[in-house]
């Protein structure tokens, strides 16, 4: 069953909506051959000398009988909605070195054949697509041949409502979410032949009638033969899976290192059980973590099993698991098997003798181990061992004319058991399979909390990935970075933006670990934000407007928490700059800071900042910096200034200041704005000082907090 977002729709609806037509070949002198090349242009005419540059251009132009030759290079995928005919197919032929590296413009697939009949797709490499390497739906008589499909997001090949499709000589590997080859939605008479299918998360081959999508929910007349299928099913499934598959043949398939079942016939989504099928001359080897070698369930009756090897390395599972309601019409014989059978999902196990007695089946079958049967099963050489029990031990009933390697059957006095016929010569072992890459399974973050207001680049924690494949290297990326507040630096999660506890006490990030084979795993982390007693402002000279005399500078915090440590540990600093903000010099705060409630009060004594209340020696632009969280980084800055003669705090000494002194002449008291030198009385000295300072100023561009 296709996930809802990917379903092809009900068959009745598709047939109704599809444009019914009888297309005749155009009256042309010759059928056309077009060319596509990275060196071409879509404004060209598509000839060998002036090729097009995009596959979609070719797909938009071709008619029945046309061939498109694609030259080596990397391409964006394409969607085809045009038909060939039985005598004039549309052919897309890739030369060596053609790679589809990005999805087509319409669907999240590399190649999409949508209602396109009599089409051949030959020789393409389609890797890392968001969904499917090649998708073929609501069509008939399509050929998918010699294609390589690796690490695609969901499936290597997907078909839906595709009658008479031929899928042969493809390599479908490492589908991230599901299957290597998926034939769905009651398309009849598919042929799946001579493909290599390995390392897919779920099934190697999955066939699903899926009644919910329309049609009869049955795939009938299928031929699945000559496929080499290994290392599939890490996430569940089978080497070959059939749901609602009937009157079909499974022969000469080699299935090994299956992480789940070997061959399964059942009904979940199909219109009925998987019945009346023939399973002959297959070799099925299930790994120690797998299920049963042959699994028949859900009223899947009338199946015939001959000349197969069914072996299982699991500690208690075995060769055949068939439900009681699937036993009607079931026949099985001339197989090499284990001494384990079940009719109740493994709740009880029967020996071969018990199985024969209870079912009447497998009267000529043989119990043997892989080392007795095969040349070198540890090295995945499943050719028959000379003198082994599988040679001449089969039957001619339903036996194919040739074996997996194309050798004629029989070679000796009788038919052999398994996918290979013994030829009497030393067969070279198959090349060792490429290592099966699995996606990472976990990400660990060494720490998941950070103090607010820390500097960009602060390390939150170190990242490591868990991977079933030894020796993998991993690249970490952020899928979701909490609005730009975090970044990845190598294997570190770091802060990249301002983080405020008051905005939220935690943040979520999604981190992706990608292994060297391109497979990835995402994990969500919650980063706790630690509250810091922040500076909320600054109060210069106890709220006075003037900046001529500055004795007190209060640094105001959210609370009194930790202020004593800030003072005792010297985590405040004061820098004095010129009135234009240049040439900074540190000002000593020794014995000048004390805690009063939620304030740190800087007291520069009766002479005020600069040490001389009657001069401009303390004039300048000042910056207070505070390390609020004790990490030795002073995150918070507050700015103020002192300008001798400035009575109104407008950064300038002018006639307004002179008038302020004159208007307040003779007044006494603390913190009078017109008291230029802060001695408690507005007198002749203040008048003299302010007149002498007219024209002095602090740069208007410097930021101030008070």
Q: State the average pLDDT for the chain.
A: 92
196-224 pLDDT, tens digit each: 999 999 999 999 999 999 899 999 999 99
d(CA 73, CA 27): 33
580-595 pLDDT, tens digit each: 999 999 999 999 999 9
Q: 429 Cβ partners below 8 Å, 6+ apart? A: 375, 376, 379, 380, 381, 383
Q: 129 Cβ partners below 8 Å, 6+ apart? A: 77, 100, 103, 108, 109, 110, 152, 153
pLDDT at 520: 85
pLDDT at 434: 64
Nearest residue to 653 via CA among 683, 685, 690: 690
Handedness of CA 333, 338, 339, 343 (dihedral sign): negative
Nearest residue to 103 via CA among 80, 81, 127: 127
Assigned domain for 40 exists: no
Assigned domain for 653 exists: yes
Assigned domain for 179 exists: no
pLDDT for 61 beyond 80 = yes
Structure tokens at 95: 């030369």
Please check whether residues 568 and 472 belong to one and the same domain: no
d(CA 62, CA 58): 6
Structure tokens at 670: 């603390």
Please check whether residues 584 and 690 belong to one and the same domain: yes
Q: 702: helix, coil or strand?
A: coil
Q: Where are any strands of DSSP class E within 474-505?
A: 474-480, 486-489, 492-495
Stretch 14-29: mean pLDDT: 41
Q: What is the percentage of the chain residues whose pLDDT exceeds 90?
A: 84
Assigned domain for 684 exists: yes
Structure tokens at 329: 């019409």
472-530 pLDDT, tens digit each: 899 999 999 999 999 999 999 999 988 888 899 999 999 999 988 788 888 999 999 99
Structure tokens at 140: 């008939």
How many other C-beta atoms are found inside a 10 Å radius of the C-beta of residue 268?
12
Assigned domain for 486 exists: yes
- Quote the domain boundaries for residue 566: 535-697
Residue with more model confidence, 429 or 496: 496
Please check whether residues 607 and 670 belong to one and the same domain: yes
d(CA 93, CA 84): 15
Assigned domain for 600 exists: yes
Dihedral angle of Cα 419, 421, 423, 428, to the nearest 10 degrees = 10
242-273 pLDDT, tens digit each: 999 999 999 999 999 999 999 999 999 999 99
Structure tokens at 298: 């859900």
Q: Which one of 498, 527, 556 terminates a domain?
A: 527
Please check whether residues 484 and 446 belong to one and the same domain: yes
d(CA 439, CA 466): 9
Q: Which one of 527, 549, 566 terminates a domain?
A: 527
pLDDT for 449 beyond 70 = yes
Please check whether residues 561 and 687 belong to one and the same domain: yes
Please check whether residues 460 and 582 belong to one and the same domain: no
Q: Residue 197: which H helix or E strand, with range? A: strand 196-198
DSSP class of 564: H
Split into its structural domains, the chain has a count of 2
Residue with more model confidence, 149 or 186: 149
Stretch 337-355: mean pLDDT: 96
457 touches 464 (CB < 8 A): no
pLDDT for 22 beyond 50 = no
477 touches 512 (CB < 8 A): yes
pLDDT for 10 beyond 90 = no
d(CA 483, CA 481): 6
Please check whether residues 557 and 668 belong to one and the same domain: yes
Please check whether residues 544 and 582 belong to one and the same domain: yes
pLDDT-derived band at 5 (thresholds 50, 70, 90) equals: very low
DSSP class of 210: -
Please check whether residues 502 and 621 belong to one and the same domain: no
- Cα→Cα distances 501→64, 91, 456, 507, 618, Å: 66, 62, 16, 10, 37
Please check whether residues 590 and 662 belong to one and the same domain: yes
What CATH number is associated with residue 469? 2.60.40.60
Nearest residue to 312 via CA among 335, 291, 334: 291
Q: Which one of 492, 509, 527 terminates a domain?
A: 527
Assigned domain for 108 exists: no
Q: Based on the number of CB atoms within 10 Å of its own CB, is 246 exposed (0-12), middle (13-18) or buried (19 or more)?
A: buried
What CATH number is associated with residue 690? 1.10.1330.10
80-139 pLDDT, tens digit each: 999 999 999 999 999 999 999 999 999 999 999 999 999 999 999 999 999 999 999 999
Nearest residue to 311 via CA among 333, 293, 335, 291: 293
Stretch 28-32: mean pLDDT: 63
Please check whether residues 690 and 543 belong to one and the same domain: yes
Phi and psi for 251 in degrees, rounded to 5?
-145, 150
Q: 443: helix, coil or strand?
A: strand
Phi and psi for 113 in degrees, rounded to 5?
-100, 110
pLDDT-derived band at 633 (thresholds 50, 70, 90) equals: confident
Residue with the two structure tokens 């003669």: 645
Nearest residue to 549 via CA among 375, 671, 689, 654: 671
Please check whether residues 517 and 621 belong to one and the same domain: no
Strand-pairing partners, residue 594, are 601
Assigned domain for 165 exists: no
């Amino acid at each position: 069953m296709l996930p809802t977002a990917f379903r092809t729709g009900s068959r009745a609806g598709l047939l109704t909506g599809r444009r019914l037509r009888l297309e005749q070949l155009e009256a042309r002198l010759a059928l056309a051959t077009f060319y596509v090349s990275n060196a071409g242009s879509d404004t060209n005419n598509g000839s060998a000398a002036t090729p097009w540059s995009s596959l979609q251009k070719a797909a938009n132009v071709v008619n029945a009988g046309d061939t498109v030759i694609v030259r080596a290079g990397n391409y964006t995928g394409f969607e085809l909605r045009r038909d060939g005919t039985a005598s004039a197919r549309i052919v897309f032929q890739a030369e060596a070195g053609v790679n589809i590296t990005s999805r087509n413009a319409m669907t999240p697939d590399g190649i999409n054949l949508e209602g396109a009949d009599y089409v051949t797709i030959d020789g393409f490499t389609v890797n890392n697509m968001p969904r499917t390497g090649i998708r073929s739906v609501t069509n008939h008589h399509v050929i998918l041949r010699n294609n390589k499909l690796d690490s695609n997001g969901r499936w290597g090949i997907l078909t839906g409502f595709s009658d008479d499709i031929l899928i042969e000589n493809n390599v479908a590997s490492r589908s991230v979410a599901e299957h290597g080859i998926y034939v769905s939605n009651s398309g009849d008479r598919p042929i799946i032949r001579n493909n290599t299918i390995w390392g897919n998360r779920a099934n190697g081959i999955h066939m699903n009638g899926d009644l919910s999508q329309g049609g009869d929910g049955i795939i009938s007349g299928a031929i699945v033969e000559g496929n080499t299928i290994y290392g599939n099913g890490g996430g569940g499934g089978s080497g070959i899976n059939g749901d609602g598959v009937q009157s079909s043949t499974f022969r000469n398939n080699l299935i090994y290192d299956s992480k789940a079942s070997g061959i399964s016939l059942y009904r979940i989504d199909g219109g009925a059980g998987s019945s009346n099928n023939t399973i002959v001359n297959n070799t099925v080897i299930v790994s120690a973590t797998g299920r049963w070698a042959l699994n028949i369930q859900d009223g899947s009756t009338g199946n015939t099993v001959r000349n197969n090897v069914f072996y299982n390395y699991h500690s208690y599972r075995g060769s055949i698991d068939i439900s009681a309601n699937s036993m009607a019409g079931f026949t099985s014989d001339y197989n090499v098997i284990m001494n384990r059978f079940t009719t109740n999902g493994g709740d009880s196990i029967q020996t071969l003798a018990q199985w024969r007695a209870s079912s009447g089946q497998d009267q000529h079958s043989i119990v043997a181990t892989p080392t007795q049967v095969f040349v070198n099963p540890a090295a995945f050489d499943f050719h028959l061992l000379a003198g082994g029990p599988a040679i001449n031990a089969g039957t001619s009933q339903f036996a194919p004319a040739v074996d997996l390697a194309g050798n004629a059957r029989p070679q000796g006095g009788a038919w052999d058991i398994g996918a290979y016929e013994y030829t009497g010569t030393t067969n070279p072992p198959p090349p060792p399979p490429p290592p099966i890459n699995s996606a990472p399974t976990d990400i660990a973050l060494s720490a998941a909390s950070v103090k607010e207001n820390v500097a960009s680049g602060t390390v939150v924690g170190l990242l490591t990935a868990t991977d079933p494949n030894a020796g993998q290297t991993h690249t970490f990326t952020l899928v979701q970075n909490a609005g730009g507040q975090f970044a990845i630096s190598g294997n570190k999660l770091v802060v990249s933006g301002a983080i405020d506890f008051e905005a939220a006490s935690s943040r979520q990030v999604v981190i992706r670990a990608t292994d060297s084979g391109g497979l990835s795993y995402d994990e969500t982390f919650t980063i706790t934000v630690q509250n810091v007693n922040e500076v909320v402002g600054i109060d210069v000279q106890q709220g006075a407007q003037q900046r001529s005399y500055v004795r007190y500078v209060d640094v105001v915090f959210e609370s009194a928490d930790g202020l004593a440590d800030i003072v005792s540990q010297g985590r405040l600093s004061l820098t004095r700059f010129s009135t234009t903000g240049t040439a900074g010099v540190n000002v000593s705060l020794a014995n000048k800071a004390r805690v009063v409630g939620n304030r740190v009060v800087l007291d520069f004594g009766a002479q005020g900042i600069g040490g001389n209340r009657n001069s401009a020696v303390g004039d300048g632009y000042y910056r207070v910096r505070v390390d609020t969280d004790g990490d030795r980084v002073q995150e918070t800055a507050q700015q103020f200034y002192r300008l001798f003669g400035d009575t109104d705090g407008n950064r300038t000494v002018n006639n307004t200041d002179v008038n302020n002194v004159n208007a307040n002449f003779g007044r006494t008291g603390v913190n009078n704005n017109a008291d230029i030198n802060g001695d408690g009385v507005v007198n002749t000295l203040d008048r003299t000082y302010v007149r002498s300072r007219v024209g002095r100023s602090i740069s208007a561009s410097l930021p101030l907090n008070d």
